[in-house]
Amino acid sequence: MKKEKKAQVTVFIIIAILIIGLIGLFFVFKEKLGLIGINTKVEPVYNFVQDCIKKTGENALERIGEQGGYFFIPNNNPSIDSRIPYYIHNKNIYSPKKEDIENSLSGFVYEELSFCILNFKDFRDEFEIEHNLKNVKTEIIKNKVRFNLEYPISVTKEDNTYQLEEFEVEIPVRLKTIYDTTYKIIDEQRTHFDSICLSCLYDLGKENEVHVDMLDYGKDTTIFTIIDDKSQLNNESYEFNFAIQYE
């Protein structure tokens, strides 16, 4: 009798392990594929949109890295040739807030996504598609940037209509770390506008695992470039530029 009970307990344990394993696999595939709840007939459209969001998001990150966090540098923000913004100019602070950079990324994706989608021209022989991009929300979080799109898409095939509503893409760029690094540089420089603490920059770069490069521009300006080897776009290290004017 005791052997039978032990055997039954063993069977229950094995079943429990299998159930837990299947649940784990479910969430793994849900996370990796993002296709749970997506009808297989419209997966090509879904995957196409996801890919376009990723490409456009990467372009957005590259653009705002080149331009110090801006899609378009504001007219009231001093800059070098309208390409690299000053974060400090005439002792005034112009560095953007994290929310400003998130809005710049959202604005880029909202404006530029259509150049990748191209009105779904490659799907016209197979589907009838109506779409309307309503909103893009960007979150700069630890080790990645997340794009959430409210993008209702109606896909009709063989007299059947399917709805796609929301999309989410994460790109592994450590923009939060880079932003925190620039913030600390500006916070340090606001206490003395006439010099650069090189040891401070070295320690800051080491702490955040980034490189802080400097280039003299004219007699009173230094261009800073934060380089992150841990963040790759098009197989190149991510770069973020801004300028500081000194006395």
pLDDT, one tens digit per residue, over 145-161 is 999 999 999 999 888 99
Show the 3-state SS of 157-206. Answer: ECCEEEEEEEEEEEECCCHHHHHHHHHHHHHHHCCCCCCCCHHHHHHHHH
Whether 9 has a pLDDT exceeding 70, the answer reads: no
pLDDT score at 200? 85
- Per residue in 38-50, pLDDT (tens digit) is 788 899 999 999 9
Each residue's pLDDT tens digit, 57-82: 999 999 999 999 999 999 999 999 99
Q: At CA 84, angle to CA 56 and CA 64, rounded to 5?
A: 20
Residue carrying the six token digits 């006395």: 247
Q: Quick one: residue 159, left, alpha or beta (phi over 0 = left, psi -120 to 50 = alpha)?
A: left
Region of 92 (left: φ > 0; alpha: ψ -120 to 50; beta: rest) is beta
* pLDDT bracket for residue 167 (50, 70, 90): very high
| Residues sharing a CB contact under 8 Å with residue 241, sequence separation 6 or more, in sequence order | 65, 66, 67, 68, 84, 223, 224, 225
Q: What are phi and psi of 216, to 5 degrees?
A: -70, 135
pLDDT of residue 15: 72
Rounded to 5°, the CA angle 9-13-16 comes to 135
For 86-101, the pLDDT digits (tens) are 999 999 999 999 999 9
List CB contacts of 117: < 8 A, sequence separation 6 or more. 49, 52, 131
Q: Give yes or no for residue 199 having a pLDDT over 90.
A: no
Locus of tokens 């290290």: 237
Q: What does pLDDT average to over the chain? A: 88
